[in-house]
Structure 1
Amino acid sequence: MAFWHRWTKHHPPGPVIDQDGTPVLAKAAEQFGDLAELGQYVAQHGIRVVDPGVPLSNYAGTAAALRVWETQPSVRKVVDYIARALSTIPWHVYERVSDTDRRRVTDHPLALLLANPAPAVPPSRLWHSVIVDWLIHDRWCMQVLPNADTASGWELRRKPARRMHILADDDDQPAALYLISSRGPAQVVPLPGRYLFDHGYATVGADGTSPMETMQQILAEQSEAVEYRRSVWKNGARVPAVIERPADAPGWSKTARDRFMAGFNAFIGRGPTVGGTPLLEDGMKLVTVEAFKPVDTQDIEGRKLTDAEVASSYHIPPELVGARAGNFSNLDAFRQMLYTHSIGPDITMLQDVINTMLVPLIAPGSNLYVEANVEAKLRGSFTEQATLLQTATGAPYMVRSEARAVMNLPYLEGTEELVTPLNVLVGGLASPTDTAPPAALPKGQGRPA
């Protein structure tokens, strides 16, 4: 209830009218202490909100998503893996000269902005934060600001998902951005504006649906399992044994019992004698019993199961995050699939936002477009690339000066020409590894089998 009253004090909503025309804001405030329950009640009972603003349940969902990021290792592992993979993909700008001609552009303000979007933040770090917002909250936003101190004249500034919501019209189409500030009242920014944003599907509105809400049962089960295993480790016997004292042993005085317990606790505590063997009195025996064993908690199996469930929820092969064992061949195949089938749609959605929202702002009326250079992430080893390119070109493809630059060697005069072996002729052999063409054999002789 305290949170509800604080929220209504700083964000007074419009009048809430029931179906019979009776104001129900005060009644709802008295009956509901949970914002999610209040939001569900409003939607289920057809209560008309004159100025709906942001659904109250969104604030509870945002807080829950932030807690999950901080407390759930599986979510952080998978989300961080995807964010690191996406944020390190370079963006290239091209000019569409014709249907068969594309030219790479590197000196246009659009290209300069994508290469250095924020003056004080590295590009990969900025995109990493934006993508984490997207994966955790199912929405993200960046503001496009003019900045005369940058080479492009512009900069991109992230709007944290916890401080922004997307207001929708009756058709659940984005109509405005609701931006929360710690320095003043919230702002409602009509669209379109100088913002880049995207959101996922929501049953009501256009604010997206956090995957944390969908996975809350799995994550709650994991939290309970961790709590149980921690209790077992804390309360279970460290040594599967008990001390037996003869039944006919003389009675213990309180002083003697306290002295023995103090000495025994010294061996099971955290002192220098921990882990040793206690000194038993006459007649006492240390007897092994079938007690708790660490393997019974299935700690590793439980964590891997949660990792696999979260990875599957984000369409990522569990093998890539260590949730299932893999070998070299299938891991290499999964790596290739990562940038095509797994996060390929995510790349396309980011690319669409940039081309439909950013390009018209920075380069209006031009034939420029932005494309993610996914090939940079799919390149094989240097040996694989060299073999592939030599086969594709049919001849050496690097001059000696380029090869020396790769090895960080100084430039030498006379190394700018391409050296072509004598057994490679244009129109003759297709590859240096081919044998002699049929035309080079004596007349009447064919190529041997």
Structure 2
Amino acid sequence: MGIISQLLHGPASYEMKAAEAQASEPETTATAVTIPATSIPVDANWPEEADFVGYLNGLHSREYAVRTVVDFIVRNIASLPFKVYRKDDHGDPMEVTQGALYELVKRPSALPGMSRYRFTQHLLEDMLMEDKWLCLLGLNDDGGYSLRRIPPGHYTLHGNAFGELQSVDINGGGIVRDKTFPLPDPRVVLDVGYISSLRFGDPVTTALKPLLSEARAMARYRANIAARGAQIPAYVFRPKEVPWASQDDYDEWVQGIRNYSLGGGGEGFMPTFKDGMEIRTVENMFKPIDMNDLEARQNINILVATAFQISPENIGFRTGTNSNIASYKEKLWNVELIPYITAFEDALNLSLPTAVGEPDCYIKANLDAKLRGTLESQYHALSTATGRPFMETNRARRLLDMPPVPGGDQLITPLNVTEGGQPSPQDGGQTQNAQNGSSPNGKTADALAIFNEFKRLRQYDADFRRQWDDMKGSSDEI
């Protein structure tokens, strides 16, 4: 809820309205004003100074860890292709490439500069930072549908004591007129996270504020130490047996040393010391690095990533290895981002298909676009899955900027794939040879001959050894 909205719709405004109502009536008919449950504001408390600071400089713009994690989640999800599907009579999904819902998903906002990526980005940022988002469905001048995002500070959700949404007040901010929509309404598309009685939405950043306040305090402390502490942990030693000739001699030497500091003109040169003078270091001098706050800062970044259910290795807060980086990527798209994507899909499918007149359609993110491997692994997997070549010769030549060849527009399937029992062109004939007992190099007769001769000699050797043992046993008995 915005600061102005809190001031205008907070507890004080209701008290003033009640007082005005009582003052307008005769004194003999003073009655109590009952406030409906659905009219109680979401966050009925007075705004403090911290609230003003938060609105002017929110966590998204002030906190490095929050900005990094939120941008990581938003960029990955917003860059996904969102497609429209419809199930046929057999229950199989079919991609829809035309219609009102398809055009809406392709270009959700008609505002200038508002692409599908940016529109999705703003909604996801609202969800991560405010635990809710809302947009209105309307008609363009050309008759098509479009969505308009309403920032969290420009609408107020109302509900009953059980936390059930009943209406929403849109604050136009002077741009459009204020309006109240009873819920559910096909023109209102929204998603709200945690709901507790009169509180609609409880973002993760609320739980992170104490941790982030500690990080800011440590950063200020380190900056003060670096700015006000000794810049060089050393001093110039002069033996007491070598006194200064005069005060002017001392002042001249001090001024000469200052010439070697920043702006003195002698930066980078080695100063000349007088007899007996030397530079001595301070061994136990306190330094900002002794705070070990850099490690604490890294741990705070890790905790922020964990709060958003994202592995620190995927963001870069913690270093991964070559052996586990692929596992973390698989975990990202199969475990960590799935709840965010599912919630976004369900919120869109809850009312949009019916509102545009296509209730049999639904919106789904294409996760395969992010799970694809290298080009080599994709081609190998497609060839293995289809059991045959999947690309024509001329199409492959166009990828290499080579001219087409006659007959290259037909898909050629090797005969050993269709007739020889080979399950895939990548098999190399191993399965077929194993089934037929053939040699991989094609010399079946020679291989069988060698193998049969080996078995004959092995059997002959076994018979000879058995006869020899029998003869040896007979001679021992004699």
Q: TM-score range with shorter-chain normalisation?
A: 0.7 to 0.9
Shift in alpha-carbon separation, 1:273–1:206, aligned structure 2, 3 A: same
Distance in 2 separating the partners of 1:226 and 1:378: 39
Distance in 2 separating the partners of 1:73 and 1:417: 55
- Tell me whether 1:159 sits opposite 2:145 in the alignment: no
- Tell me whether 1:190 sits opposite 2:182 in the alignment: yes
Distance in 1 separating the partners of 2:265 and 2:188: 62
Q: Is the 8 A contact 1:200 1:208 kept in 2?
A: yes
Aligned to 1:423, the other structure's residue is in SS state helix
Deviation at 1:402, TM superposition (A): 3.7
Shift in alpha-carbon separation, 1:82–1:386, aligned structure 2, 3 A: same
**Aligned equivalent of 1:307:** 301
1:316 maps to amino acid: I
Matches within 5 A, 1:30-45: none
TM-score, normalised to structure 2, is 0.76
Aligned to 2:85, the other structure's residue is in SS state strand
Distance in 1 separating the partners of 2:115 and 2:4: 40
For residue 352 of structure 1, the aligned residue among 329, 338, 346 is 346
Aligned length: 414
Q: How big is each residue's C-alpha offset from its partner over 1:65-120, in whole Å with a ceiling of 9 and x where there is no partner?
A: 75222211111011110110111111111111124322110111211211122233
2:372 maps to amino acid: R
**Aligned equivalent of 2:327:** 333
Moved more, 273-282 or 311-320: 273-282
Aligned to 1:267, the other structure's residue is in SS state coil
Shift in alpha-carbon separation, 1:98–1:142, aligned structure 2, 3 A: same
Distance in 1 separating the partners of 2:225 and 2:180: 51
2:14 maps to amino acid: P
- Tell me whether 1:378 sits opposite 2:371 in the alignment: yes
Shift in alpha-carbon separation, 1:415–1:159, aligned structure 2, 3 A: farther
Distance in 2 separating the partners of 1:213 and 1:252: 66
Moved more, 154-163 or 123-132: 154-163
**Aligned equivalent of 1:228:** 221
Q: Is the 8 A contact 2:234 2:280 kept in 1?
A: yes
Distance in 2 separating the partners of 1:175 and 1:253: 88
**Aligned equivalent of 2:410:** 417
Matches within 5 A, 1:43-442: 51-57=39-45, 64=54, 66-119=57-110, 120-149=113-142, 153-183=144-174, 187-193=179-185, 194-247=187-240, 260-280=253-273, 284-290=277-283, 291-293=285-287, 295-364=289-358, 366-407=359-400, 414-425=407-418, 428-432=421-425, 433=427, 434-435=429-430, 436=432
Distance in 1 separating the partners of 2:326 and 2:67: 23
TM-score, normalised to structure 1, is 0.80
Moved more, 85-94 or 158-167: 158-167
Shift in alpha-carbon separation, 1:429–1:224, aligned structure 2, 3 A: same
Q: Is the 8 A contact 2:63 2:212 kept in 1?
A: yes
Distance in 1 separating the partners of 2:147 and 2:3: 34
Shift in alpha-carbon separation, 1:256–1:106, aligned structure 2, 3 A: farther
1:315 maps to amino acid: Q
2:79 maps to amino acid: T
Q: How big is each residue's C-alpha offset from its partner over 1:135-162, in whole Å with a ceiling of 9 and x where there is no partner?
A: 111111222221134xx81222222223
Aligned to 2:133, the other structure's residue is in SS state strand
Q: Is the 8 A contact 2:42 2:199 kept in 1?
A: no
2:118 maps to amino acid: R
Distance in 2 separating the partners of 1:402 and 1:243: 77
Distance in 2 separating the partners of 1:260 and 1:251: 10
Aligned to 2:309, the other structure's residue is in SS state coil
Q: Is the 8 A contact 1:79 1:132 kept in 2?
A: yes
Q: Is the 8 A contact 2:160 2:197 kept in 1?
A: no
Moved more, 332-341 or 297-306: 297-306
Shift in alpha-carbon separation, 1:10–1:56, aligned structure 2, 3 A: closer
Deviation at 1:277, TM superposition (A): 4.0
Deviation at 1:429, TM superposition (A): 1.6
Distance in 2 separating the partners of 1:186 and 1:271: 63
1:356 maps to amino acid: L
1:195 maps to amino acid: V
Which of the two has greater helix per residue? 2
Q: How big is each residue's C-alpha offset from its partner over 1:108-134, in whole Å with a ceiling of 9 and x where there is no partner?
A: 121121112223312112211221111
Aligned to 1:424, the other structure's residue is in SS state helix
Distance in 1 separating the partners of 2:197 and 2:267: 59
Q: 5+ unaligned residues in a row in structure 1: which ranges?
A: 24-46
Moved more, 419-428 or 372-381: 419-428
Q: Is the 8 A contact 2:7 2:46 kept in 1?
A: no
Q: Is the 8 A contact 2:392 2:410 kept in 1?
A: yes
Q: 5+ unaligned residues in a row in structure 2: which ranges?
A: 21-34, 439-444, 452-478
The sequence identity of aligned pairs, in percent, is 29
**Aligned equivalent of 2:460:** none
Aligned to 1:243, the other structure's residue is in SS state strand
Aligned to 1:83, the other structure's residue is in SS state helix
Q: How big is each residue's C-alpha offset from its partner over 1:36-57, in whole Å with a ceiling of 9 and x where there is no partner?
A: xxxxxxxxxxx99894223144
2:41 maps to amino acid: G
Aligned to 2:280, the other structure's residue is in SS state strand
Distance in 1 separating the partners of 2:264 and 2:127: 49
1:191 maps to amino acid: L
